[in-house]
Structure 1
Amino acid sequence: MSEPSQVPDEEGQFVRPFIITGGRSLPAQSDLRLETLVVALDAAEGAAPLAFEHQRIVTLCQEPTTVAHIAEAVGVPLGVAKVLVADLVVGGRLSCSQPAELPLHTLERIRDHVRAL
Structure 2
Amino acid sequence: MSDVEWVDEDAGPVVRPYAVTGGRTRTASARFDLLAMAVATGTPISAGTHLGSQHRRLLNLVRRARPIAEIASDAGLPVGVIRVLLGDLLDHGLILVRSPIPAASAPPENLLRELISGLRAL
TM-score where L is the length of structure 2: 0.67
CA distance in 1: counterparts of 2:53 and 2:87, whole angstroms = 16
Partner SS state of residue 42, structure 1: coil
CA distance in 2: counterparts of 1:21 and 1:36, whole angstroms = 20
Which residue in 1 is equivalent to 2:51? 50
1:11 aligns with 2:7: yes
Structure 1 residues 18-58: Cα deviation after superposition (integer angstroms, max 9, x where no partner): 110011011223430100100001214x5447311101110
Which residue in 2 is equivalent to 1:21? 21
1:93 aligns with 2:94: yes
Question: Cα offset for 1:86?
Answer: 0.6
The aligned runs of 1:104-115 (5 Å cut-off) are none
Count of aligned pairs between the two proteins:
94
Question: Cα offset for 1:100?
Answer: 1.3
Question: Cα offset for 1:70?
Answer: 1.2
Residue segments in structure 1 that go unaligned for 5+ positions in a row: 1-8, 104-117
Which residue in 1 is equivalent to 2:35? 35
Partner SS state of residue 50, structure 1: coil
Question: Cα offset for 1:10?
Answer: 6.2
Partner SS state of residue 7, structure 2: coil
CA distance in 1: counterparts of 2:46 and 2:74, whole angstroms = 23
Which residue in 1 is equivalent to 2:109? none
Q: State which structure, 1 or 2, has the greater radius of gyration over its C-alpha atoms.
A: 2
The answer to which of 11-20 and 72-81 deviates more is 11-20
Give aligned-pair identity as a percent. 31
CA distance in 1: counterparts of 2:92 and 2:30, whole angstroms = 16
TM-score where L is the length of structure 1: 0.70
Question: Cα offset for 1:101?
Answer: 4.5
Which AA in structure 1 matches 2:25? S
Which AA in structure 1 matches 2:31? D
Which runs of 4 or more aligned residues in structure 1 lie more than 4 Å from their structure 2 counterparts after TM superposition?
A: none
